[in-house]
Amino acid sequence: MNELLVEDRGAVRILTMNRPEKHNALNTALTQSLVDALRDADTATDVHAVVLTGAGKSFCAGADTTEFSALVPEAPHAVGERAQLTANLHLAFSRMAKPVIAAVRGNALGGGAGLAIACDMAVMSATVRFGYPELKHGIVAAVVMSNLVRQMGRKHAFELLAMAEPIDGARALALGIANRVEPDDKVVDAAVEMATRVASWSPIAVATTKRLFHRVADLTLAEGLDAGRDTNILMRGFRAKAAQ
């Protein structure tokens, strides 16, 4: 069985994590497949936007803990390699030029919650279970913490980590980690609709917008304005050449 399904709808590529019996828990194979698929989508000239979702009842229940328990005693070096692969996956979303929209239903926990907010936008179901339960199991939401802290106020982010209780779609929307909340059966269609709209714009303009967006997020105001000025000049020059 393919653990990652790939479907194109016009200029939108849909990536579906396909381990429904495991609530799409991330093992090494699925994690590597996601890294590769995001890279492929970013280089595909006929793909302008991506939707990430999960098969079955859940988006992603986080790391496959059964695999992790086997890694430690048998191959300690593999733990570091697996952690680096996870970090590479979460970094891939901001580094690719094309926007990615998460379509999130059911469980989005731990690493699955991290995937959802690593995307550029997120459509969540009203009944989603989004959260970071790691402390309940005596572990740390480590790799996923960086994106969480960047996207939320510190107190709300720490509450999600410290209380270890999932929130629903309405709460995710109120906290600013969901863009839209839809009924379960409408989540994927709503995400595809958003992706289709974004995919209809100039690919160069969209890519430049995303690149500048992630750049200015980590700059001071003055540095961000300088970066925006430089991009403004670049795009005006590009438009002038295109008009000739």
Computed from CA positions of residues 89, 86, 120, 237, in that sequence, does the dihedral angle turn out positive or negative?
negative
Residues 154, 203: Cα–Cα separation, whole Å? 34
Q: What single-letter amino acid sits at 109? A: L
Q: How confident is the model at residue 243 (pLDDT cuts 50, 70, 90)?
A: very low
**Of 85, 58, 93, 79, which is closest to residue 139 (Cα–Cα)?**
79
Give tens-digit pLDDT for 45-76.
999 999 999 999 999 999 998 876 666 555 66
Q: Tens of pLDDT along 86-141?
A: 999 999 999 999 999 999 999 999 999 999 999 999 999 999 999 999 999 999 99
The residues assigned a catalytic role are 134
Residue 231: pLDDT band (50, 70, 90) is confident
Stated pTM of the model:
0.91
**Direct distance between the N- and C-terminal alpha carbons of the chain, in angstroms, rounded to an integer:** 51
The stretches of 138-186 forming alpha helices (DSSP H) are 145-151, 154-163, 169-174
The span from the CA of 196 to the CA of 220, in Å, is 33
Task: Answer whether residue 149 shows pLDDT above 70.
Answer: yes
3-class SS at 106?
A: coil
* pLDDT for residue 222: 85
pLDDT mean across residues, the chain: 91
